[in-house]
Amino acid sequence: MPKMQESHNYGPRNMQDFYCEFPEFLWGPGLLISVLRFVTNVPAVAKYIAAHNMATYGLADTATFIAFAVMLAFATHGWYATFADQKRQFQDFDAKHSRKPGEKPSAYIDRDPPTAGAIRTVAALVSSIVYAFVPFAPPTTSWPVFIGWTMAVAVYWDLHFFVVHKTVHENAWLYKHIHKLHHSHKQSGPFSAYFVTYQSNFLTEQLVVIIAAALGCPRDVFTWSMYWGTLGTYVEHGGHDLADVRLAPLPVTFAQLSTILSPWSLVLGGESPGMHDWHHEKFFTNYALSFSYLDKLFGTFHPGRVPGEAIGLAHPRAAKKIDATPATPAVLEGMASCDAIADVIGSQPAFQPKVWHSAPVWRSVPAPCEALDLDETCTDSE
């Protein structure tokens, strides 16, 4: 059996040990709940809430969502372990030179059990208890209003996520203390989605929910966004391309269903698992959550990995490639000072000799590689 390139099985192995080592997952939500209760009881705020018939999400509905999200994480992991076709696999899970000639590449099911990832995922999702104390506007009463609000929340969440995500990647201190942990999973899986610090979970999810609620987000729009979005983030981190997986008995594929439920992606461009998988390993590309237009606008877009290519398997969708602006000499010179980043040029044969970045993304990186600790997390995984 080849040696695994990466294990997701480091960290506390049970909830008690996890909370002892990371108490911020207890006091963080507790502090946020206290702030929410204080603010919503300020007379002017309470009057506004009452005048707009707003009501908190409540413990029962919040607990239902948490239970759903936890079970969905394990169910998604189980689906990949049972049904994931290696032709859809983005990365080679085996350590370099560890596979003997003629030996089959390791599949998702061959990886170490992601115990620590599952534990942190549960803790992060349990911290969603804060939503019980967030007041939302009444449910929508028409499809146009529901669709309009759903689009607005999706677009704002993507923008918010892009700004925060790009900022923590390009600031050494923020990256180290907020986001570096998430990128310890360079070969991501479903339990990588919530393999985050509490600070990161607050900045990229809970703060978004609070802002959306303050702006009048209806209760049913929040519910839909969380349930569908949770599945979306598990798939985005799943390490496999599920675009053409048929969802029997429905006559559609997963990609088609995603487009139907988020038609604005036809205009804004969709963020695919292959794009996010590339980001997990290469760092300074594909910062967006749901759409690709911001990465294209800021010069940080990359079309992502080709499924099956890393392990020598062809996939029907692999033939189509997207061209992009080649790197300039100035960009290459800036990259030469950091071997850890230099492999971003594209170590996969299908992408050579193109480089999928424009100059601004590299010039915007303010900190040297050593300050970002990229020697630990930006290594060549081939």
| Side chain identity at residue 95, one-letter code | A
Contact 319, 287 (CB under 8 A): no
Return the number of other C-beta atoms located less than 10 Å from residue 277's C-beta. 28
List the structure tokens of 262.
């988020």
The pLDDT, as a whole number, for residue 65 is 98
Give 61's contacts (C-beta < 8 A, 6+ positions apart): 132, 223
In the chain, pLDDT over 90 holds for what percent of residues?
A: 64
User: Is 177 a residue whose pLDDT tops 60?
Assistant: yes
Return the number of other C-beta atoms located less than 10 Å from residue 370's C-beta. 11
Based on its alpha-carbon atoms, the radius of gyration of the chain, rounded to whole angstroms, reads 21
Rounded distance between C-alpha atoms, residue 198 and residue 8, angstroms: 18
Rounded distance between C-alpha atoms, residue 4 and residue 95, angstroms: 5
- Whole-model pTM? 0.82
The pLDDT, as a whole number, for residue 329 is 36
User: Is 362 a residue whose pLDDT tops 80?
Assistant: no
CA geometry: angle 380, 10, 16, nearest 5 deg? 155
| Ramachandran region, residue 111 (left: φ > 0; alpha: ψ -120 to 50; beta: rest) | beta
Q: Shortest CA distance to 268 belongs to which of 123, 355, 163, 158?
A: 158
Tens digit of each residue's pLDDT (9 = 90 or more) over 310-331 = 888 755 555 444 333 333 333 3
List the structure tokens of 244.
């053409």
